[in-house]
A and B are shown apart, each in its own frame.
Chain A
Amino acid sequence: MIRTPVTPAQGLDRRSFLKLSGFGLALSGTGILWTPARVRAADGVELNQYIVIRPDGRIQIAAPNPDVGQGVNTSLPMIVAEFLDADWSDVDVVLAPVDASRYGFQFAGGSRSVPDRWEELRLLGATAREMLLQTAAREWSVPRDELTTEPSRVVHGPSGRQASYGELSVQAGQQPVPDASAVPFREASDYRLLGTPVLNTSADAIVRGERLFGIDTVVPDMVYANYVKCPRIGGVVKTANVDAVKQLPGVIDAFVIDGDAGTYTFRFPDGVYVASGVAIVAENTWAAIKARRTLDVEWDFSAASSDDSDTINAAAAKAAEGAGQKELHAGGDVDAAFGDAAITRQAFYQTDFISHAQLEPQSCVASATDDGVEVWTSSQTPTAARTTLAELFGLPETAITVHQVRGGGGFGRRLSNEYVREAALIARRVGRPVKLQWTREDDMAFDYYRSASYFALAGAVTGDGRLLGWRNHVISGSRDGEGANYGAGYSNYNFPTDVVENVRITQTLIDSDTPTGPWRAPVSNVYAFAEQSFLHELALASGRDHRDFLLDALGEERWIKDGDRNALNTTRAKAVIRAVTEAAGWGRSLPQGHGLGLSFFFSHAGHVAEVAEVSVDDERRVRVHKVWVTADVGQVINLSGLENQVQGSVIDGLSAMAAQRITVREGRIEQSNFHEYSLLRINKRPAIEVSFLASGYPPTGAGEPALPPLAPAVCNAIYAASGHRIRSLPISREGFTV
């Protein structure tokens, strides 16, 4: 069993080897920064900011981006190890310090860790390997081209002489860094690690229950806090009985923080918003939570949200009657297309708000004075945490230290750092390190929700079943009346705008103050449901097989923008559609009450098609029997991690569409905890079959793209099984239960 421990971040800065030499070299022509410390430490030689080689042969690889379950503490080090040609059983993975000068902008989001870091890690791994080869050539006085590597070893074929990387490490540390043009790269056909299943490097620590997550962090002299905020989002404290709370057993202090009035909004990277609230500081978490029962706060609601879900939904329905306030896109002649078409259809699709519900509630450990701040956080943006604290405290970034710690789920929730700011302010006031713990109720009440969404769609189809025209009137919640709230609007995924001849996209803004933010596959996670369900409606109206209609609607096979990984490639799109429908036995006959549903979506650089097989009974009980997924995410990094991500996306997508809904009443979130907010349980899991196309493209991310197609695949299958068309999510709204 491979045991590759990941060192908790709080120990890392005290290691002797990671000291900056003072400058970095740009590897010529690459723009990639190489910052070798070239310090020969007692326990190893650092060849670059990712690789330390010990004399005993252990190879330490730094993982730069936060891991919140998407597996980057395994996949990113695998890339380094592949091109270094390290034996994976020699590798120890450590969390990189949060240091922009060495690791750039460290974050977990957008399914970007793998594609953004691919070139950098490939080059730095291969360059380190080349240094080891050149070292051996020099030491053994043999030509470089007679040398090769086996995992963790340099080998001289003609003589049979070998040495481990560990044995060569000291000399390698003195080897000049070769020019990038002189560094050979292993071909994909020779990969030893990439594309294979590799155990999560934190797996051992996870199964043993070791100290691993942000919430597990403990530092000396630490105290525990809760922060109580206005349940009507954006309200401020008027009065609070802090003196009574301070008397309670186990309570150390209680005080008001004068925060910002009004609702918060997602910004990336952060601003410095801090909500008004009452901090309760205690000897342990329970004492702080218990003290809340005694706390009595009078709130000033004048700046608070007054949102009401029914009002918002009614405003959206009203807006949908019109054509839209503003035109976002116009191509071809939409009016003529709809005038000429043999078949036209219209439909209104909508979804509620939902919560992130990441299983680890927000927390942060902070130590702060007027001169400096140190935090331990499972933020998805630790680099931004440093910047926001510097701005909040009026200090240079050199006075701020952020330690990244593993997160118990992210899903976009941890792309903001307001809990970090709250913890730091409390710590400065208390004069001791503070662990701020949000309760689940806090987490559910003060989320940046996945926005409610509304799409009034219309399609025009020719007599022979070709998609001729498309209208999408997007109705978006807006807090300022100028732009859509985060995730409430529209993004261009190249379909249909760059594929269908006659397309008009319009938008109307409606009032909504409820904070929204990125939720796994933002916008796609609701728009795909609308688009792919409606395409099924059009296929049915035209009498054509849905798969044929979909393939045809994607137009000719081409890369919409050559070389741009964020541009749709209809060749890859059609390939995954064909593969998944073949795998699912598309077209086979099914018993009464059973149906297959198909969908395709391209987001976050991934082309993914899904088929769901469901059955529906007379009481609208839905059984999702099986889901097939075919994904093209380019070069596979960790086959096991990738499969896990895609299976997880199916479960997550089903969970979100089944019964999750957040409703707002007078600015307050109505759902307080999981008894009022149903996540999918194990007994509702479908069988899941996942396949990946070896398309030869560079690797792209897998955290998000397999989620958007799930809802429409299932809803299309529900139609096939029952004849009922679902146009609003969660399906529980229309009486369907999973």
Chain B
Amino acid sequence: MPLTLTINGAEHDLGAADPDMPLLWALRDLLGLVGTKYGCGVAQCGACTVWLDGNPTRACQLPIGGLEGRAITTIEGLAGDALHPVQEAWLEHDVAQCGYCQAGQIMSAAALLARNPAPDEDSIHAAMAGNLCRCGTYTRVVAAIQSAAKKSVAGSFYDATATQGGEA
């Protein structure tokens, strides 16, 4: 069954793969894109967060058979020539401990700021509640998002997200 997935702007032929396969495992095992992580497989932890047409979604719940024609963005596609402002903020605040959840956190955070450039704390909590951090970096996750939001006024990250389609 022919199947072409568009991931980070590049096309990939997955015609030989099981159409039932969740995008998570296609990314990790078939395409070598391991930034998207497996934490639970039941959309409870958010470690597998990717963008589907710019909207944050859990890749463990997306059978690849239904994804033809959709624009998929993974953590590997977030940085352009420079790191995304959310990634920069993550470094400025030294957010990560083990780091396993952080790609998912960053994808959710960047999607939040694309649609709401100046979120209040409740909006941040609501957008990020699907991303578990077992190490407990939540304090710094929020601080990093608030830092990135302040910089967004300059508009630089609209360019990074605009190419992914969906709502900005």
Contact = CB atoms under 8 A, between A and B. Distances in A.
Interface of A: 1, 67-71, 197, 199-200, 202-213, 215-216, 218, 224, 249-250, 284-287, 289-290, 357-361, 406-411, 437, 439-440, 640-641, 644-645, 647-652, 655, 673-675, 679-683, 685, 688
Interface residues of B, number: 59
Q: Is the interface of B mostly helix, strand, loop or mixed?
A: loop
B79 A208 contact: yes
B97 A644 contact: yes
A216 B91 CA distance: 22
Contacts of B87: 207-208
Nearest to B35: A209
B139 A688 contact: yes
A70 B18 CA distance: 39
B20 interface: yes
B98 A284 contact: no
A213 to B, nearest CB: 6
A647 B37 contact: no
Contact of B98 (A209, A360, A682, A685): A360
Contacts of B26: 286
Nearest to A443: B40
B22 interface: yes
Contacts of B162: none
Contact of B20 (A290, A361, A645, A679): A290
A565 to B, nearest CB: 24
Contacts of B142: 682, 685
B55 interface: no
B18 A286 contact: yes
Contact of B101 (A359, A440, A640): A359
Given A209-B34, A209-B103, A682-B131, A439 B41 contact: yes
B131 to A, nearest CB: 7
Contacts of A357: 134
A644 B28 CA distance: 29
A679 B130 CA distance: 11
Contacts of B111: none
Given A286-B25, A673-B42, A207 B91 contact: yes
A682 B138 contact: yes
Interface in B76-133: 76, 79, 83, 87, 90-91, 94-103, 106, 124-126, 128-129, 131-133
Given A208-B87, A440-B41, A673-B40, A645 B97 contact: yes
Contacts of B125: 682-683
Given A207-B90, A207-B102, A360 B18 contact: no
21 contacts: A69-B97, A206-B102, A207-B91, A208-B75, A208-B79, A209-B34, A209-B36, A209-B75, A213-B100, A285-B38, A286-B18, A286-B25, A286-B26, A286-B29, A290-B20, A360-B39, A361-B39, A644-B137, A652-B136, A673-B42, A682-B133
Interface in B42-80: 42, 44-45, 47, 74-76, 79
A640 B135 contact: no
